Amino acid sequence: MRTRLLLSCGLALLSAAATAPGAAIAAPLPPPIVAAPSAIVIDRVTGHVLYAKDVHHERPMASCTKIMTALVVVERCPDLHRYLVCPAGTGTSSGVGLRPGDRITIRQALLALIVRSANDAAYVLARAVGGSQPGFVNLMNRRAARLGLSDTHFGNPTGAIRDPGHHSSVYDLARLGRYAMRNPAFRDLVDRSRAVIRWPPDHEVIVTSGNRLLSLDWVDGIKCGNTPAAGFCLVGSGRPGLRWLVTATLDAPARDVDAGDHVALFEWASTLYERKAVVTKGQIVRRVPLSDGTALDAVAQTTLTRVVRSAAKIVRSVTLPPSLRTPPPPGTVLGSARYSADGVVLGTVKLVVAAPSPTPSPTPTPAATAPPGPA
């Protein structure tokens, strides 16, 4: 309850600031002050960085490690209902109480991994998918390299072990989170604050997530973590406004403080977007020369409306014939215009010959009156 109240208050205060009477809509709000030494917000659609604070500093990332652990598993295991047998040594790790010889489905182990942050589930999955823990860590690092995560190196699948060779940055974690959220199986795992982990013969363990952001209905993940060396770490995903966003922090001083900072970052970044008509129906996009020296107007056939970053430059790419010999009838499709912003295509509209402007009716000329005759 206390956490819900803290997050709700943060939301209300920021919303009030955004809609305060007399606030200049065109002037963006300043970003919030964030307690974590490293923090970032990116656009989940375009990847555009909206806020950055010491984003490439390599730090331990605690159980945010398990984002990559889960991603490697779901990408390599199409059948999540397949059973795994827990190997020797399973019971030595904290988690949900798995023991050597237990059988558990991949999906149940993944739920334990993400929701409970269970280390025993991480080791079971690592050995099953990678053949051994070192083999699985190699898969994690190869995947990080393919994603271009140059600040990241994994030493284990849990993040619970203090290891100078195990590190990442908020820049890499946000990019990893953005990529992972494209996977439906991954999204299903991280978008829950509670789960019941079951395995034969009759084991049932209720687990809850430490991710405070999941108490908000506009959040759909991702993962939190904490160790003495890493501090409090969090990667979040949500859409409090018009746009899906991803946030990440490392080494925050406290979990509630960290969650509140993420809410503030989400809300602030949402103010940077608007829904706008990129081009409207009938708008002249370009004039096409005719052989007689005149030109005709190529206009948008339809209106294209999209959510875009208010400060983004909209780029237009037009495909039209360089000239025409004779004017085609009005409404004839001549080509197209493609619009993009922040490196992502917003859409394409057809360009058609403009309808002729209606000719205004001539103003009647008043009848001439004869000059008055002599009295």
- How far is 135 from 130, CA to CA, in rounded Å? 5
Strands 219-227 and 203-208: unpaired
Residue 264, C-beta contacts closer than 8 angstroms, at least 6 positions apart: 10, 14, 32, 34
Looking at the DSSP bridge assignments, the partners of residue 59 are 168
Is 66 an annotated catalytic residue?
yes
pLDDT at 45: 97
CB 338 within 8 A of CB 320: no
Active-site annotation holds for 223: no
**In a 10 Å sphere around its CB, with 0-12 CB exposed, 13-18 middle and 19+ buried, how is residue 218 labelled?**
middle
pLDDT of residue 223: 98
- Catalytic one among 38, 53, 63, 169? 63
Amino acid at 311: A
For the chain, 375 residues long, the average pLDDT of each consecutive 10-residue run is 40 38 59 98 98 98 98 98 94 90 98 98 97 98 98 97 95 98 98 97 97 97 97 98 98 98 98 98 97 96 98 97 95 98 98 81 55 50
Pick the catalytic residue from 8, 15, 53, 66.
Answer: 66
CATH for 33-271 is 3.40.710.10
Give the number of other CB atoms < 10 A from CB of residue 312: 19
- What superfamily would CATH give domain 275-353? D-Ala-D-Ala carboxypeptidase, C-terminal domain (2.60.410.10)
What SS3 class is residue 46?
coil
Q: Among the options 8, 15, 93, 117, which is catalytic?
A: 117
Contacts of 8 (CB under 8 A, 6+ apart): none
Res 190: pLDDT: 98
> Does the annotation mark 276 as catalytic?
no
Q: What is the reported pLDDT for 25?
A: 47
What are the residue ranges of CATH 2.60.410.10 in the chain? 275-353
| Cα–Cα distance measured from residue 20 to residue 115, given in angstroms and rounded to the nearest whole number | 38
The segment(s) of the chain belonging to CATH 3.40.710.10 are 33-271
